[in-house]
Structure 1
Amino acid sequence: MIKLESDRLLLRTLVESDAKNLADLMRRNKYFWSIHEPLHEDEFYTEEAQFKKILESMHLLRANREYSFGIYEKGSNYLIGHISLYAIKRLPYNSAFIGYSIDENYTRKGFATEAVKQVVEFAFQNVQLHRIEAYVSPKNDGSIKVLENAHFVREGLLRELLYINGRWEDHYLYSLLRYDYYS
């Protein structure tokens, strides 16, 4: 298990026993998150489905291909979000994507930015990445603010990148380079 700590948060890699809490988080935010992410079939929001996702994530973690963390306020066992460093590619890319979601009741408090900064530090210091990328909907002002507060740079618009809830949606591509982070 990997644990990362910031001023207010504890991030730790998800394990099998987190399946119920992860399913609860997914169900609580099903419609809130579906504004910018695909709405899934009902089965996706079950403990069994989340258990399988966690097992897959643990397998990818052992292969150093993905790091999926639960986000908790320090001193609490209440899951308020999740964040992943995923699709890790080694040279010649040495890059990964970052993705995150925060419980609707915990948005606009800086938790997402704090979590992103912790995972970025982990990515550059421990995983030794050169580049971290993120996709974000142009309509998702909150997530754009998170990325920009974490010093990500908007590189461009990817037209009709993702099929979300019956429509092709454009997304911005953001990135953060190792030397930008350390300068």
Structure 2
Amino acid sequence: MNQGDYVEAATARTAAEVEAFLADRLEESSRVTLRPLTFADAEEFAALTQASAHLHQPWMSLPATPEDYRSYLGRFDHVKAQGLLVCLRDTGAIAGTVFLNDIIRGRFQNASLAYAAFAPTAGKGYMSEGLRLVLGYAFERLLLHRLDAQIQPGNRASLKLVQRHGFRYEGYSPAMLFIDGAWEDHERWALTNDMFGPGPWPPHPSRPAR
């Protein structure tokens, strides 16, 4: 299987899981929906990244060309990482993106959360609504126990977003992640499925019985 086929297969698996989750959870009032990143999004995603550089830098680096975007998709294998788009329900336009990175099963059942809004629709609450859906998807459909988010102290918008959704502050790590050419300090925030509710959900098959 070549790289393109591998990515498309992973994308199809994520799409099926997301569709199954959303089937009975989107309400009439829902302004956004979720879907996986696909090859077809290359031009739009790259253009949105370029238009949103003032929002993302120095906090996050996203692919700003279609070529870089297509290469970037290779990291989302569905099992260890998933890339999701927050899209407006009425137009399909991309409002932001959310990543479930470093998915670890077994006794941890954890994923690292990263996200970014795009400038054309920023400040309208779409990312907050989208993140709420992603949290439900992660806990209810993927049966994760915990999500963590590492956020630079100066990124006030991201800190407010996780606080709004009930994440717990777990500590401060100097020089934790290499971002924009330097090792940056980060605050660590986390949310477990019992904090999210309503639950409880069955354990993932990979979790040990004891």
TM-score by length of 2: 0.76
Where structure 1 has 5 or more consecutive residues not aligned to the other structure, the ranges are none
- The residue matched to 2:190 in structure 1 has which SS? strand
Q: Deviations over 1:121-149 (max 9, x none)?
A: 11111111111000111111111110011
- The residue matched to 2:116 in structure 1 has which SS? strand
Distance 2:197 2:71 in 1: 37
Structure having the higher Rg: 2
Structure with bigger strand share is: 1
- Per the alignment, residue 156 of structure 1 pairs with 171
1:174 Cα offset (Å): 0.4
1:166 Cα offset (Å): 4.2
Q: CA RMSD in A?
A: 1.9
Alpha carbons 2:86, 2:127 under 8 Å: kept: no
Establish whether residue 171 from structure 1 lines up as the match of residue 186 from structure 2.
yes
- The residue matched to 2:107 in structure 1 has which SS? coil
- Per the alignment, residue 67 of structure 2 pairs with 48
Give the % identical residues: 24
1:156 Cα offset (Å): 0.6
Which amino acid is the alignment partner of residue 93 of structure 1?
A: F
Out of 93, 107, 110, which is 1:92 matched to? 107
Out of 25, 46, 59, which is 2:48 matched to? 25
Distance 1:104 1:55 in 2: 25
158-167 vs 8-17, which deviates more?
158-167
- Per the alignment, residue 11 of structure 1 pairs with 34
Out of 126, 142, 146, which is 1:131 matched to? 146
Where structure 2 has 5 or more consecutive residues not aligned to the other structure, the ranges are 1-14, 199-210
Establish whether residue 36 from structure 1 lines up as the match of residue 51 from structure 2.
no
Distance 1:181 1:163 in 2: 30
- The residue matched to 2:153 in structure 1 has which SS? coil
Out of 107, 120, 126, which is 2:135 matched to? 120
> Across the two proteins, how many residue pairs are aligned to each other?
175
- The residue matched to 1:45 in structure 2 has which SS? coil
Alpha carbons 2:95, 2:127 under 8 Å: kept: no
Alpha carbons 1:133, 1:174 under 8 Å: kept: yes
Alpha carbons 2:86, 2:98 under 8 Å: kept: yes
164-173 vs 147-156, which deviates more?
164-173
